[in-house]
Amino acid sequence: METILAILGLIVQYGLFVILFGMGFFVGGYIEKRHYKDIHRRERELLHLPAVSMSWKALHQENAYQVPVVEARMVYGSVVLSEDYFKAFLLALRTFFGGRIVAYETLIDRARREAILRMKAQAVGADIIVNTRLDTSTIGGGDVKAKTTKSIEVLAFGTALTFQKQPDGAA
C-alpha cells in the first residue's frame, strides 16, 4: 500500500514535468520546423527586394545606383517569439555546464528573419531597402529567478527606396 502511494506521489510530482517536457519537444519542434519552411519560401519570393545595411550615401557612390529616387519611406516589421518548455530546460542545463545554446540560436535567428520579412512586406513596390537596422529586446522576463514568460522581440526597420523607371525598361 505504501509503495503504491509513493509511486502515485512520484507521478504527481514529475508527471506534469514530463508532459510539459514532451509537449515542448514535439509541438515546439514541429512549430519551429514549419516556421523555417515558411521563412525559406518567403525569402525566395522576396529575393528581388534586397535589404542592405548601407546608408544611401555609400550606396549612391556605386554606378548601379545612380538612378533618381522617386519615393523614400520608412518601413518596419516586428515579431515576438517565445521559447518552449524544452528550450527552457536546455537553457537551464547549459547555464550549469556552459557552452553553446543551439536551441536559442535558432529561436533568435527565426525572429530576426521573420522581422526582416515583415519589413519587406510593407515595402511593396519598392526597389531596395537601405540602412536596415535590427533591434532585439526581451520582454516579460526581467527577473531570472521568477518563472515568467521569457520571449524576445525583434524589430527591423529601414528606408524603402523606389527608383525612377527607365524609359527603355532597363531598370
Partner 1 sequence: MSDSFDAMKDLMRKKLRESVQSGQQADSDPPPSPSPQQPQPPQQLPQQHSPQPEQRTAGVPRETPEVARQVRHHMSHPSGMILTNIETVPGMTIVEHFGLVNGSMVRAKHVGTDIMASLKNLVGGELGGYSKLLDETRGESIDRMVLQARQLGANAIVNVRFSTSSVAQGAAELYVYGTAVRVE
Distance (Å, whole) CA 78 – CA 84: 20
DSSP output for 8-50: HHHHHHHHHHHHHHHHHHHHHHHHHHHHHHHHHHHHHHTTTS-
CB of 99 to partner 1, least distance (A): 21
CB of 1 vs partner 1, minimal distance in Å: 35
Site for partner 1 in 68-87 (CB under 8 A): 68-74, 76, 78-85, 87
How far, in Å, CA of 131 to CA of 128, rounded?
Answer: 10
Region 102-121 residues binding partner 1, contact defined as CB under 8 A: 107, 114
For residues 95, 98, 102, 107, the Cα torsion angle rounded to the nearest 10 degrees is: 30
Distances (CA, A) of 152 to 58, 75, 115, 170: 32, 20, 12, 42
Size of the chain in residues: 171
Give the distance, in angstroms, between the CA of residue 55 and the centroid of all CA atoms in the same chain: 23
Cα distance between residue 121 and residue 125, in whole Å: 10
Kindly state the number of chain residues that form the binding site for partner 1, as judged by CB under 8 A. Answer: 54
Of 46 and 153, which has the nearer Cβ to partner 1?
153
Query: Is residue 41 within the footprint of partner 1 (CB under 8 A)?
Result: no
Report the residue number, 37 or 165, with the smaller CB distance to partner 1.
Answer: 165
- For partner 1, the binding residue among 38, 45, 105, 135 (CB under 8 A) is 135
| 169 near partner 1, judged by CB under 8 A | no
User: Out of 39, 42, 94, 140, which residue is the one contacting partner 1 (CB under 8 A)?
Assistant: 140
Chain residues binding partner 1 by CB under 8 A are 20, 23-24, 27-28, 31-32, 35, 55-57, 60, 68-74, 76, 78-85, 87, 107, 114, 125, 130-131, 133, 135, 137-140, 142, 148-151, 153, 155, 157-159, 161-162, 164-165
